[in-house]
Structure 1
Amino acid sequence: MAHIQVNYFSNVLVKDCQMDVLLPQRTADNPEWTKDTLTDLPVIYLLHGMSDDNTSWLRKTRLERLVKHLPIAIILPNADLSWYSNTTYGMDYYDEIAIELPKIVRELFPQISAKREKNFIAGASMGGYGAYKIALSTNHFSHAAALSGAFNPSGSSETLESFRSKEYWNGVINQRDDFDNSPENLIHLAKQKLALNEPMPKLYAWCGRQDFLYQDNQAFIKNLGALNISVDTEFTNGKHDWYYWDKFIENILEWLPIGYIPEERLC
């Protein structure tokens, strides 16, 4: 894989931004790849969680090694502590990541497909929430996956306030006047998509039983089920930790329609 670090200008945020990009490269490891193989590439937008950035998936997991034999692109954007939302502070991270970024990616990397069936989005924790949020509120992604998804950010939270003050979160996502009908509420977004008769993305969720978000995950998936929206779920032992996200990112790769073959290790 080629690893490209991109600094680009966001017209939405009116500032320089960063993303990391993995692109398949013809090497001795992949001699069968042709120019056609590397055209109209499927792509995974892989979102980070709180306290992380666009480099976290590369620094803390096996990601690059796992996909080195796949003709697929990986886009790793930076969303700061935004919850992939348009904040009341004028920093419209939702618009930048969900709407502007795919256009910039296609301009800079025309070999990446614009087709919905070849665009996927995933993330961990806050990034899992962001993946579902963007997939449910746009028609750009056919599959969305979450590891330890932070699906219910409403109300006060000691976890959130260990990062920033309650006043800060009031302007991001946490204390909107009507969260039930808010664009930050995933169930509301799912109901909107159903009402508009738009195609529903295929959904996957993993969460560990020892994760502090385990109960929220179960409740959220139950609420989707009440809307007849199915989610491919895996609940195993595990905590809110990169050890498990590194382990289960491979399950996401197997779940996606990309022809992933798991690594084999001889003992």
Structure 2
Amino acid sequence: MAIINLEYYSEVLGMNRNVKVIYPEASKVKGITESDIPVLYLLHGMSGNENSWLSRSGIDRLVRKTNVAIVMPSTDLGFYVNTTYGMNYFDATAIELPKVIHNFFPHLSTKREKNFIAGLSMGGYGAFRLALGTNSFSYAASLSGVLTFNGMEDRFDENAAYWGGIFGNWEQFKGSDNEILSLAERYEGEKPKLFAWCGKQDELYLGNEFAASELKKMNFDLTYETSDGIHEWYYWTKMIERVFEWLPIDYVKEERAI
């Protein structure tokens, strides 16, 4: 297994970007071949960056014996969308980044059935936004994700400069492709399989309950789980292992040191 820091120039954003890649070593992973390796795009939350999953969860240890490559980009505070202030993070992450990755790592699979996406908090929103806004990912997982902004309208007024810069005002946001449930309702083609978890003590819990109910009404294949937990890395580190078990990969659970 190798941990690689890739710096590249993003034509979409007009600036250099960094992405972390965990690349499996064929000789040490049972069943893996040197071509067509499954890929998981793993997204950070607000205040995070491309280093967050590595530094906070020890994810490199979790996948040491597993046949999947992990790509960890950064969207700054841009919510993985094409913002109203002109920074097109959706295009940069959903369209441009996979091309960059496959240019540098040609053995990674380009097949939809072997490309997955997951994230926490803002990244949970991003995982569903990218999966439902493209036809590139067959599985998408959200941990404590912002899957609906219903009941959070006051945030658009309290910090209008920030949220307006990301989504526009509330009226512009509602019904747009940036609203997960509206986007899901319009989705055409083969639906991605979805996974969502949120802690019962998390302020986003009721929003996840509502979003899960609505997605199931739309006949999405959604695995929805809850347990005690708050909006914190302790729970995300535990639940990313659950995501690995859910994904169609040969996940080999690494025993924790005592």
TM-score (norm: length of structure 2): 0.93
> 1:182 is matched with which residue: 176, 182, 196?
176
Q: Structure 1 pair 31/8, CA: closer, same or farther in 2 (3 Å)?
A: closer
> 1:166 is matched with which residue: 146, 160, 163?
160
How many residues of Structure 1 are paired with residues of Structure 2 in the alignment?
256
Q: What value does the CA root-mean-square deviation take over the aligned residues?
A: 1.9
> 1:201 is matched with which residue: 188, 192, 203?
192
Cα shift at 1:227 = 1.6
CA distance in 2, matches of 1:239, 1:199: 33
CA distance in 2, matches of 1:266, 1:111: 32
Aligned to 2:20: 20
What 5-or-longer segments of structure 1 have no aligned partner?
none
The one-letter code matched in structure 1 to 2:92 is E
The one-letter code matched in structure 2 to 1:46 is L
Is it true that 1:134 corresponds to 2:130 in the alignment?
yes
Contact 1:83–1:173 under 8 Å retained in 2? no
Q: Structure 1 pair 266/19, CA: closer, same or farther in 2 (3 Å)?
A: closer
Cα shift at 1:98 = 0.8
Aligned to 1:7: 7
Cα shift at 1:18 = 0.7
Aligned to 1:157: 155
Aligned to 1:99: 95
Aligned to 2:106: 110
CA distance in 2, matches of 1:32, 1:236: 32
CA deviations on 1:170-213 (whole Å, 9 max, x unpaired) are 110262533332010111111111xx3x0100000111101110
CA deviations on 1:31-62 (whole Å, 9 max, x unpaired) are 766xx712110000000000000000000002
Contact 2:61–2:254 under 8 Å retained in 1? no
Contact 2:84–2:167 under 8 Å retained in 1? no
CA distance in 2, matches of 1:48, 1:264: 25
CA distance in 1, matches of 2:147, 2:136: 20
CA distance in 2, matches of 1:119, 1:31: 19
Cα shift at 1:226 = 2.0
Kindly, what percent of the aligned residue pairs are identical? 46
CA distance in 2, matches of 1:179, 1:112: 35
Runs of 4+ in 1 over 4 A off after TM superposition: none
Contact 1:7–1:16 under 8 Å retained in 2? yes
Cα shift at 1:93 = 0.5
CA distance in 2, matches of 1:31, 1:204: 26
Q: For 1:206, what is the secondary structure of its paired residue?
A: strand
> 1:49 is matched with which residue: 40, 45, 66?
45
Is it true that 1:231 corresponds to 2:231 in the alignment?
no
CA distance in 1, matches of 2:235, 2:215: 24
Cα shift at 1:229 = 2.0
> 1:249 is matched with which residue: 240, 247, 252?
240
Aligned to 2:139: 143
CA distance in 2, matches of 1:59, 1:87: 28
Q: For 2:184, what is the secondary structure of its paired residue?
A: helix
